[in-house]
Copies of this chain bind each other. A is one copy, B any other.
């Protein structure tokens, strides 16, 4: 990037094939550099209106009768997400619960199935020791409950850790701190050869890059919709179970939304034939209502186009970090190869919590992840190249002027 100037970057914005999509989001405070779409995406402009319609017309007007509309939302929206953004087939993805609960349900289902095939063997669940807390904790809890061993490994040690007593492998496709992107197909192949299954957490991948579940031979996955998918704070999560596995797996929470004939209200639980068997209780319709407009924007832009822009924006961050921040002891801890990188960039160094606060003060929202990471995530649907430039420029200026030193060194609560 020889001629890297703000003017050059402005021409990238002008020529950006996704430039019109920013207008499909509510962008209050337009001068904010929002690089935290991997924690909480912006609201699509249409979401407020859709929600108002659901509250006023469907809930208020239709009352209980609107359940005839709502009853299949988890499946209908799951199909849009699965087929258009995750490379799954119809009837393989459903919106449900939180990522934590979905992880628990699918991990428990997989472990139960494995244990039935390996009676008397005390199995092991392998997980990435650097994975997002909820993934690690859910695995630890399940292992404690079932008398299995939970063992954290680095993804590049996975091959040697695989053995015939591995009941399940739980991995994130994109690491929440470093943005390292794993090779889903090769990990799945390795696991298959070792006679085990992989449960993927797609939270930092869905909506940021094309996930090719079927092509990569994925069997199980979960993920959230409130990051790059822009479905709102704590929006319903999703789960994926490959079609041929669905009849073989039973999840532990036998709620009435997973029942074959829900309204017969019969004496015995009999799981639904398809992906609905992985549902549990009544889904939160108001939160689900915000998923649809969010998916529509992603689908309209096209996930390949989103990825192309994401790669360029992350390259810009990396390039500017190398040029401007290296001298302050800040290094890029994200793979340089786009084939091994998700949609954000991790900067590591001293005083990252203070820098994160100073950035916020300067109108740049990134986020801090303990102990020493500053994450910057452009969201191609609404983040401009010039916004990335300005964020990096302000970070440089803060460092040059020591402006972060006036902020507290003690990390506070952020999500």
**Bound complex: CA A255 to CA B412 (Å):** 20
Asked if B285 and A232 sit within 8 Å, CB to CB, the answer is: yes
Expressed in whole angstroms, the minimum distance between the Cβ of A276 and any Cβ of chain B is: 13
Residues of B within 8 A of A369 (CB): 265
Alpha-carbon distance between A32 and B62 when the two chains are bound, in angstroms: 11
Is there contact, CB below 8 Å, between B269 and A140? yes
Whether B283 and A104, one on each chain, are in contact in the complex, defined by CB atoms closer than 8 angstroms, is no
Are B253 and A104 in contact (CB-based, < 8 A)? yes
Which residues on the B side are within 8 Å of A104 (C-beta)?
A: 252-253, 255, 280
Pick from B36, B52, B255, B281: contact of A52, CB below 8 A.
B52
Contact of A255 among B60, B64, B134 (CB under 8 A): B134
Q: How many copies does the complex hold?
A: 2
Q: How far is the CA of A76 from the CA of B137 in the complex (A)?
A: 25
Contacts of A313 in B (CB 8 A): none
Shortest A254–chain B CB gap in Å is 3
CA gap between A136 and B101 in the complex, in Å? 20
A59 touches which one: B43, B253, B259, B415 (CB < 8 A)? B43
Chain B minimum-CB-distance residue to A143: B254
Query: Is residue A66 contacting chain B, with contact meaning CB distance below 8 A?
Result: yes
Q: Are B140 and A26 in contact (CB under 8 A)?
A: no
Minimum CB–CB distance for A108 against chain B, Å: 8
Question: Given A63-B40, A254-B138, A112–B145 Cβ distance below 8 Å?
Answer: yes
Name the residue among A100, A237, A411 with the largest chain B CB count within 10 angstroms.
A100
Contacts of A152 in B (CB 8 A): 267
Given known pairs A71-B415, A264-B370, A413-B262, the reply for A281 and B43 (CB within 8 Å) is: no
Indicate whether A97 reaches chain B with its CB closer than 8 angstroms: yes
B226 touches A282 (CB 8 A): yes
- A42 interface residue per 8 A CB criterion: yes
**Residues in chain A within 8 A of chain B (CB atoms):** 26-29, 32, 34, 36, 39-40, 42-43, 47-48, 51-52, 55-56, 59-61, 63-68, 70-71, 97-101, 104, 108, 112, 129, 132-134, 136-138, 140-142, 145, 152, 224, 226, 232-237, 252-257, 259, 262-269, 280-290, 360, 365, 367, 369-370, 411-415
Query: What are the 3 tightest A-B residue pairs by CB atom distance, in nearest-first order?
Result: A98-B281, A100-B255, A100-B281
